[in-house]
Amino acid sequence: MTGPAKWRRWRGWPDVLAVCGYLVLAGYVTERMWRFLDRYLLQTNTTDQIQFEYFLVHAVRVVTHGENPFYTTTMNHPSGVNLMANTATLGLHLPLVPVTMLFGPQVSFAVMVTGALAGTAAAWYWLFSRHLVGSRFAAFVAGGFCGFAPGMVSQADGHPNIAAQFLVPIIVWRVLRLREPGHALRNGLILALLVTYQAFINEEILLLTALAAGLFVGAARCTTRPRHAARCPPSCARSAWRAWWHWRCWRTRCGSSSSDRSTTGASGRARCGTGPMSCRSPVSRGPRSRAIRRRPPG
């Protein structure tokens, strides 16, 4: 084997070692869960663990019995429950159907929590090492922080759908690639598929990612195009003020208590409308938006 071939063969070992390191660290964090797998439940989020294990069993019934993945009557019988309004997390539970069928939902839950931490760290390591920094060690440290920060470990304790953020760096990367010329349709379709899959994992993380990406793209536009830079701060301040005004108007109209905030029925809709945006926009007092009245004759 020639020298360049050997170098290409060994060049991928830092990535393998990084992923193995993240798996070992995730196993250390979840060590007690694996040790007492069939005897104990999480102390702080017992009900969440039970619910996720129920959803894991429901995913098995979806595959084996053809049940509706978005609705079930086994909860809140006979009315049923809309699973898309709950943490059904089909993006994680359906791939774990073989593990659930072979070893049970307890093992699948432990695999989901461990994989969420390690997978998130590995995804951020890939983004850092391939597109942001030249040092693999720096990328390993950065990926480890993104995957095992205190907030991530805290959410993994009963909320693996929030800790499973391995698609976030890939979505961010695809958003940044939208500005590249050519293949616009292909890049848009790939981003749409990633966003859809993330919606079946956790919508909250998707919303936060969209807000962060929007702020980043807006700030980048203001800094790279000087003729727009002067208008960015006033525009952002005006948009924030109008959003606050709509919210305050809606809260004032509907009241602050839960009994006064009911929007059901015709009377509730007449008083509260369909939401904060049902309030009329505030009239700006700037010189450009003053109402121009025609001078009366004579």
**Contacts of range 122-127, beta carbons closer than 8 Å, 24 or more positions apart:** 122/18, 122/19, 122/22, 122/147, 122/166, 123/165, 123/166, 123/167, 123/168, 123/169, 123/170, 124/169, 125/15, 125/18, 125/19, 125/22, 126/15, 126/169, 127/169, 127/170, 127/172, 127/173
* Dist. CA 115–CA 92, nearest whole Å: 10
Neighbours of 205 (CB within 10 A): 20
- The alpha carbon of 202 is separated from its chain's Cα centroid by a whole number of angstroms, namely 5
Dihedral over alpha carbons 259, 261, 267, 269 (to 10 degrees)? -160
* Dist. CA 192–CA 102, nearest whole Å: 33
Reduce the DSSP state of residue 9 to 3 states and report it.
helix
Per-residue confidence (pLDDT) for residue 264, from 0 to 100: 44
* Dist. CA 117–CA 160, nearest whole Å: 8
Per-residue confidence (pLDDT) for residue 166, from 0 to 100: 93
Walking along the chain (298 residues) 10 residues at a time, the average pLDDT comes out as: 56 84 92 81 77 89 88 83 84 92 91 93 92 89 92 86 92 86 84 93 90 80 63 61 64 53 45 52 44 48
* Dist. CA 35–CA 209, nearest whole Å: 35
Cis omega before residue 169 (within 30°)? Answer: no
Smallest CA-to-CA distance from 213 within 162, 187, 239, 174 is with 174
Per-residue confidence (pLDDT) for residue 21, from 0 to 100: 93
Per-residue confidence (pLDDT) for residue 141, from 0 to 100: 93
Per-residue confidence (pLDDT) for residue 258, from 0 to 100: 42
In the chain, where are the structural domains located?
Answer: 13-166
* Dist. CA 161–CA 165, nearest whole Å: 8
* Burial (Cβ within 10 Å: 0-12, 13-18, ≥19) of residue 23: middle
